[in-house]
Structure 1
Amino acid sequence: MSEGIGPRLRAARVEKGMSLRSVASALGVSASLISQVETGKTQPSVSTLYALVNHLGISFDDLMAEHQTEALPLVAPQPRPTIEAPIETTAGDFIQRGDDNPVLEMENGVRWERLSAAGNGSVDPLLVTYEPGASSSIEGRMMRHSGFEYAYLLSGELTVKLDFETRTLRPGDSLSFDSVRPHMYINEGSVPARGLWFVVGRREYSQEMREVRTGENRGSRLTSAVDVLQAMDRLA
């Protein structure tokens, strides 16, 4: 996992006054696992990471912010247009170089690269790689999270479990579904599976979590995974 991610997760938990035990109980994992993730001793699975950021009410931008400081500016101030001076643009206004992509290395050979969102606050764009044998949950548990998921497979093959169906994605195949539906990804092949993922609408959920945690949604308190799913339903 990228250096600094664990401490950021811990800082978010402490800021919200949550104990290791309460977070672990809500997510259905051990307190020891949460502790090891926070200290960088182990890497979370995709499902565990989604559960953590959703429960803590933070965004992936919050989580990976320190890794974006070297990137070219995504939105640069432009001079106010006048009749005498036409608007000019440069490549640096909208390009994020590949070497500057914030990266998350997760459990069991899953890698996320955060792509440029050009200031769009509603989309999580990712370049995702699943190494042979990798899966979104090493425990074999399906995950659920807010938003709609769109993906396009570039190379390799990836098995997708959605509800009670199992399908195989091949290069050129795409998918889309409501991410609150139970799902899981597995690379059962012998070569890495690589694709583009876009999760749309998840950040609105993170904003609701912020409001709940800061008391703007008074009378609402998320104390379990059931509460998290109910909060997702309110955003539908």
Structure 2
Amino acid sequence: MDSTAESARQAPNLGHKIRALRQRLQRTLDETATAAGISKPFLSQVERGLASPSLTSLAGIAGALGVPLHYFVDTPSEDKTVHRAEHLRFFSFSGSPNLFARLTSSSVGSQIDSLLVRLPVGDASDTEVTTHAGEEFVYLISGELSLTVEGKTFKLHAGDSAHYESTVPHSWANTGDVETTLVWVGTPRLF
């Protein structure tokens, strides 16, 4: 396939991404075009796949919609999108008996982090109360978890989940008699 045919094939996908983001942000064609420094009719043509923006125009559109340029030009790939079970690698932090494995990629612009966490039997080392910006979500795969949020303690079992603001004091501990395994999801990214 020649480059002209390839550009024509990708133009509707690019236009669809631009329109979808603009509509999700509840921005009009007019305000987006003005902020991007292009005409409203040209932006409309781009969104419908009838025109291809220059790199400068695309950078203007990205800026107007508050995303980096790569948001529109990156294509999904397995290494950016999928984590295979056979590549799961556990690590630990100094002084912690817990094991962690990253479930999300560390791509630029990502806002969430997801970890598989294994807490040993009776581990209470994570009882230190913490606060930080963002949100957290935990889903228990196996075992038990004692979760304390703002001084109130909840006992979670396999299949239970919890969602809370990270800005409030919170802590967790494995108070059961088997290893606890959970999925932790949080914003912003830890590292």
**Normalising by the residue count of structure 1, what TM-score does the alignment of the two structures yield?**
0.44
CA distance in 1, matches of 2:88, 2:133: 24
| Post-superposition offset of 1:100 | 3.0
- Please list every run of 5 or more consecutive structure 2 residues that lacks an aligned counterpart in the other structure: 14-74
1:33-79 C-alpha deviation (Å, 9 max, x unpaired): xxxxxxxxxxxxxxxxxxxxxxxxxxxxxxxxxxxxxxxxxxxxxxx
- For the pair 1:142 / 2:122, whether they are aligned, the reply is no
Aligned counterpart for 1:174 among listed residues 144, 161, 167: 161
CA distance in 2, matches of 1:114, 1:125: 6
- Please list every run of 5 or more consecutive structure 1 residues that lacks an aligned counterpart in the other structure: 1-79, 207-236
- For the pair 1:159 / 2:146, whether they are aligned, the reply is yes
Q: Is the 8 A contact 2:100 2:115 kept in 1?
A: yes
CA distance in 2, matches of 1:182, 1:175: 15
Q: Please state whether the residue corresponding to 2:168 is helix, strand or coil.
A: coil
Q: Please state whether the residue corresponding to 1:81 is helix, strand or coil.
A: helix
CA distance in 1, matches of 2:130, 2:80: 36
CA distance in 1, matches of 2:189, 2:86: 26
| Post-superposition offset of 1:163 | 1.4
CA distance in 2, matches of 1:134, 1:141: 12
Alignment partner, residue 59 of structure 2: none
1:130-152 C-alpha deviation (Å, 9 max, x unpaired): 11121353xx4311122100111
Q: Is the 8 A contact 1:156 1:192 kept in 2?
A: yes
Alignment partner, residue 129 of structure 1: 118
Gap change, CA 1:132 and 1:146, over 3 Å in 2: same
Q: Please state whether the residue corresponding to 2:91 is helix, strand or coil.
A: strand
Alignment partner, residue 185 of structure 1: 172
Gap change, CA 1:82 and 1:166, over 3 Å in 2: same
Gap change, CA 1:201 and 1:105, over 3 Å in 2: closer
Q: Is the 8 A contact 1:108 1:134 kept in 2?
A: no
Q: Percent identity?
A: 25
CA distance in 1, matches of 2:170, 2:91: 20
Q: Which has the higher strand share?
A: 2
Structure having the higher Rg: 2
Q: Is the 8 A contact 2:133 2:167 kept in 1?
A: yes
Alignment partner, residue 103 of structure 2: 115
Instruction: Report 1 or 2 for greater relative contact order, CA contacts < 8 Å, sequence distance ≥ 6.
Output: 1
1:190-201 equivalences under 5 Å are 190-201=177-188
CA distance in 1, matches of 2:185, 2:172: 15
**Normalising by the residue count of structure 2, what TM-score does the alignment of the two structures yield?**
0.54
Alignment partner, residue 6 of structure 2: 81
Gap change, CA 1:159 and 1:84, over 3 Å in 2: closer
| Post-superposition offset of 1:102 | 4.7
| Post-superposition offset of 1:93 | 5.5
How many corresponding residue pairs?
Answer: 123
1:1-236 equivalences under 5 Å are 81-82=6-7, 91-92=78-79, 94-106=81-93, 107-117=95-105, 119=107, 121-137=110-126, 140-202=127-189
